[in-house]
Amino acid sequence: MTYTTTGAEPELWYRDLISCLQATFGTLLAREGADPLAVLGAGWRFLHIPGDVRSEEFYYPCPDGDADLGAALAPHHGLHSRWWQPADEDDLWAEIRERLAADRLVIAAVDNFHLPFRPAYGDVHAAHLVVVYGLDEVRGLVYVSDAMPPAFSGAVPIEAFLRSWGSANPTDVQDAFFSDSRIGRRCLDVWLDAPPAPLTPELLAGCIRADSEIFADAGLAGFDAFAADLVGRCRAGDAGALRELYPFGWGMQAQASLHGELLRRCGREWGDPALAGAGRAVESVAHAWTGLRITGAHGLGDAEAASADIAHHATVLRGRYGEAVDAVTSWRGL
């Protein structure tokens, strides 16, 4: 038996509107000495891929079927990720042991039902992500970091972690959005092509310009198509539309929240009120997602009855998107 650890506990990086996906990536970025907000907040896009949504808290659409979540989350910073699973059933820890010995953190998919520190322990099945930063095979402990409330960093019995890491995550009526998605001992490696350059007005303008072109070509039209399909399916009584809305919308909400916060922070630091105002407009998009997602969650039992409210919140959100795109693209005459 061996003992492996990466040393210091990683930073718990969290924002109110993000999911475990952005929180775990942020933790790894901070460990690499990068500013998580600058990396994860520089990009802002809208992408919905019909039929792609999965019942996992960490679902996020990847363009062109690409499984590189890092590139989707941070399209301007050379961030990448790769899913993997243990190659040897007789030594499930081999890859994690190797990465920890090289001072590399690992993101692991888990089922909250089996983790003693999660509020859902022994009660609700739900797909989640945590950061693994240590392993003590002598004492039978795995060290995990989880910034999502109530926030935890410390040791978990190996047996409990293995149950969570290998869970079937069966359908759970208490969580229609993040259960029914097999965990399968999945893990994520995350890396940067190079250390990010300090963010400057010129670099940020380049990011905004690239994203504005995407919004002009397909972003707002993509939202219109998504909203029309969502409302149409609800009117037809298709609860599946609302079941997909919650995990899909979380990714879009988190992205808007981080982008808005970054613009607002840069506007304050650079003495640029127009940029700060654009950030507040983007944050309003994030907050408008709350009404749509929560209405969808409460309407799951009767999608047809919820359709009018869903249409209302989708209209409000579309208005926020339009206002925010205008505010961002008008910054410095982009």
- Choose the final residue of a domain: 161, 192, 223: 192
Angle between helices 273-298 and 303-329 (to 10 degrees): 170
Here the tokens at position 89 are 């059933």
pLDDT reported for residue 334: 64
Compute φ and ψ for 139, nearest 5 degrees. -90, -5
- Choose the final residue of a domain: 192, 210, 241: 192
pLDDT reported for residue 11: 95
CATH code (residue 46): 3.90.70
Q: Distances from the Cα of 73 to the Cαs of 21, 40, 109, in angstroms?
A: 9, 6, 17
Distance, C-alpha 155 to centroid of its chain: 24
Collapsing DSSP to helix, strand or coil, 154 comes out as: strand
Where in the sequence is the domain holding 141, given as residue range(s)?
A: 3-192
Do 296 and 315 reside in the same domain of the chain?
yes
Do 80 and 27 reside in the same domain of the chain?
yes
Do 15 and 127 reside in the same domain of the chain?
yes
Do 187 and 298 reside in the same domain of the chain?
no
Total domains present in the chain: 2
Which residues of the chain register pLDDT less than 70?
1-3, 6-7, 65-66, 333-334
- Choose the final residue of a domain: 144, 167, 192: 192
Do 104 and 145 reside in the same domain of the chain?
yes
At residue 165's C-alpha, the angle toward residues 161 and 167, to 5°, is: 115
Do 112 and 224 reside in the same domain of the chain?
no
Do 20 and 166 reside in the same domain of the chain?
yes
Rounded Cα gap, residues 319 and 289, in angstroms: 12
Here the tokens at position 59 are 């679902």
Which residue, among 104, 118, 105, has the nearest Cα to 57 in the 3D structure? 118
SS (H, E, C) 115-137: CCCCCCCCCCCCEEEEEEEEEEC
Do 177 and 207 reside in the same domain of the chain?
no
Do 54 and 168 reside in the same domain of the chain?
yes
* pLDDT, tens only, 186-236: 999 999 999 999 999 999 999 999 999 988 888 899 999 999 999 999 999
SS (H, E, C) 27-56: HHHHHCCCCHHHHHCCCCCCCCCCCCCCCC
Here the tokens at position 74 are 């941070």
pLDDT reported for residue 35: 97
pLDDT reported for residue 295: 98
Q: Look up residue 11 and give its DSSP letter.
A: P
The enclosing H or E element of 79 equals: strand 79-84
pLDDT reported for residue 8: 77
Do 9 and 28 reside in the same domain of the chain?
yes
Distance, C-alpha 128 to centroid of its chain: 10
Do 100 and 232 reside in the same domain of the chain?
no
Do 240 and 325 reside in the same domain of the chain?
yes
Q: Are 25 and 70 in contact (CB under 8 A)?
A: yes
Q: Are 129 and 27 in contact (CB under 8 A)?
A: no
